[in-house]
Amino acid sequence: MKIKFKSLLFASLISITVCTSVYAQKFEELAQTPPMGWNSWNTFQTRIDEPLLKGMDAGYTYFVLDDGWMAMERDKDGNLVADPKKFPNGMKEFADYVHSKGLKFGIYNCAGTKTCAGYPGTRGYEYQDARLYASWGVDYLKFDWCNTEGINAKEAYTTMSKAIRAAGRPMVFSLCEWGQHMPWKWAKDVGQLWRSTGDIGNAFEKTEERNGWKPLSVLNILDRQDSIRQYAGPGHWNDPDMLEVGNGMSYNEDKAHFSLWCMLAAPLMAGNDLRKMSEQTRSVLTNKDIIAVDQDPLGVEAFRYYAADGLEVWVKPLANNELAVCFLNRSAIPLNVSYDWKQHLINDAVSKTSVDFNQSHYKLRDLWTKKETGTTNKIFKQTINSHDVVVLRLTKE
């Protein structure tokens, strides 16, 4: 596991402060910016083992094992056991190895009786499993929602949150409930992030059915985010699912996907095969200027400001009275953009941001070309290719 580009990713270790309030549930100081890491599922599903994982060129902060890491049965004491063929040295040793590389370690289980792939779930074992994870040194728990018939989502996730708290080791708690029970309305005090939709697939616009199930595309998921942005912020994030950058979309689509997730202040969990990453894919995942938009400390999600004829304009208020503006071409043809800033006033009730470009002037920096592109005093003109974006950072003159 070589750490080649970690320093480029603006991913610093999060300081941990344990809240001592008797009412405390989750560890409040975790994930003050959206978590960044790598997850094994999108590329490998359950086909993971220690040699494969140690060969990953891992970056960001969290290295997360998804479904398939465990044996098919608990041991005689009811404890989860790492699959001895996949992890012959046990999970504590693997967690220590991840930590030795300067990363934080994440693991997966499920609120139901079995995981989505049929391994032992956590229902009825919440406190026992949390203690086990703590003993292994787990820093991040992704908690899925398969095999949960008759289970109340809020109750199940609250119980696991309390179990993590009782185990005493700060862990980021990722609620992977697919947005079915509107977790954004109740999970702020339960976990640090919650899935807002079903699973993503490696397609920008349309996905194909897989074994009777159809994943969502990048644009499918994007269209479900704008109405829930008010529920997200430092320590509690809407999660539009993991990244499909490097998994088969075009370069333009990868750029757009990554840019939009950063505009949404989304957790950034890469899901590609890091051993076979192209330079184009690497350039997307390591664009520190785009990542800085995601990691902005104000923690405000973007909103769709304008949409017409395949063009969308997304606006994300940033700290220090700056803005990020993303022009998205959803159409199948190039679009010529002519955008008069002075005709477009910004009023965002969520962040209390108000900008009149007739009164306030901003410098423009293109975050993909790394070039200054004028100011808001002039009409912005550019041709944007199909399924591509232009992302500008606006700084007051």
CB 90 within 8 A of CB 70: no
Q: Can you give the pTM of this predicted structure?
A: 0.93
Q: Of how many residues is the chain composed?
A: 397
Q: Give the pair of three-digit tokens for residue 50.
A: 């220690």
Q: Give the pair of three-digit tokens for residue 97.
A: 């190895």
Domain formed by 303-396, architecture: Sandwich (2.60)
pLDDT of residue 298: 98
Q: Give the pair of three-digit tokens for residue 297.
A: 């400390």
pLDDT of residue 11: 35
Superfamily designation of domain 6-294: Aldolase class I (3.20.20.70)
Q: Buried b / exposed e across 337-354, counting CB within 10 Å, b at 16+?
A: bebebeebebebeebebe
pLDDT of residue 91: 98
The domain limits of the chain are 6-294, 303-396
Catalytic residue status for 223: no
pLDDT of residue 52: 84
Catalytic residue status for 144: yes
CA distance 83 to 327: 46
For 92, phi and psi rounded to 5 degrees? -65, -45
**C-alpha distances out from residue 155 to 111, 159, 175, Å:** 10, 6, 12
Rg of the chain over Cα atoms, rounded to whole angstroms, equals 21
* Per-residue pLDDT reduced to its tens digit, 97-106: 999 999 999 9
Concatenating the DSSP letter of every residue in 306-329 gives EEETTEEEEEEE-GGG-EEEEEEE
- Decide if 6-294 and 303-396 have a common fold: no
Q: Could you give the dihedral angle defined by the CA atoms of residues 162, 168, 174 and 177, in that order, rounded to the nearest 10 degrees?
A: -20
Pick out the chain residues at pLDDT < 70: 1-24, 57-59
pLDDT of residue 19: 37
Residue from 66, 199, 254, 348 carrying the catalytic annotation: 199
Nearest alpha-carbon partner for 160 in 139, 181, 174, 147: 174
pLDDT of residue 228: 98
* Per-residue pLDDT reduced to its tens digit, 287-304: 999 999 999 999 999 999
Residue from 66, 129, 144, 239 carrying the catalytic annotation: 144
